């Protein structure tokens, strides 16, 4: 088994791998802000009803792709 095969066994495994990368932001953060922060009524981020999706690429991996190429 290659490393690629190991980390792509399931969306959950790939999501965990991506979440472990030491990066400040990823495409899942941008999508989170578009989908949830734009219309949020919470007085501050600590009260976010979507906290489980913030900084979590796992939910992003379940979205329909909107682009055909990665730049």
- pTM recorded for the entire structure: 0.70
Q: How would you write the chain as a 3-class SS string? A: CCHHHHHCCCHHHHHHHHHHCCCCCCHHHHHHHHHHHCCCCCCCHHHCCCHHHCCCHHHHCCCCCCCCCCC
Per-residue pLDDT band for 51 (boundaries 50, 70, 90) equals confident
The model's pLDDT over 7-24, given as tens digits with 9 standing for 90+, comes to 999 999 999 999 898 887
């Amino acid at each position: 088994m290659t490393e690629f095969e190991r980390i792509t066994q399931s969306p959950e495994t790939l999501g965990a791998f991506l979440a472990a990368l030491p990066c400040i932001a990823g495409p899942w953060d941008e999508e989170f802000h578009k989908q949830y922060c734009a219309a949020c009524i919470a007085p501050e981020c600590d009260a976010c009803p979507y906290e489980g999706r913030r900084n979590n690429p796992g939910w992003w991996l379940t979205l329909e792709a909107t682009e055909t190429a990665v730049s």
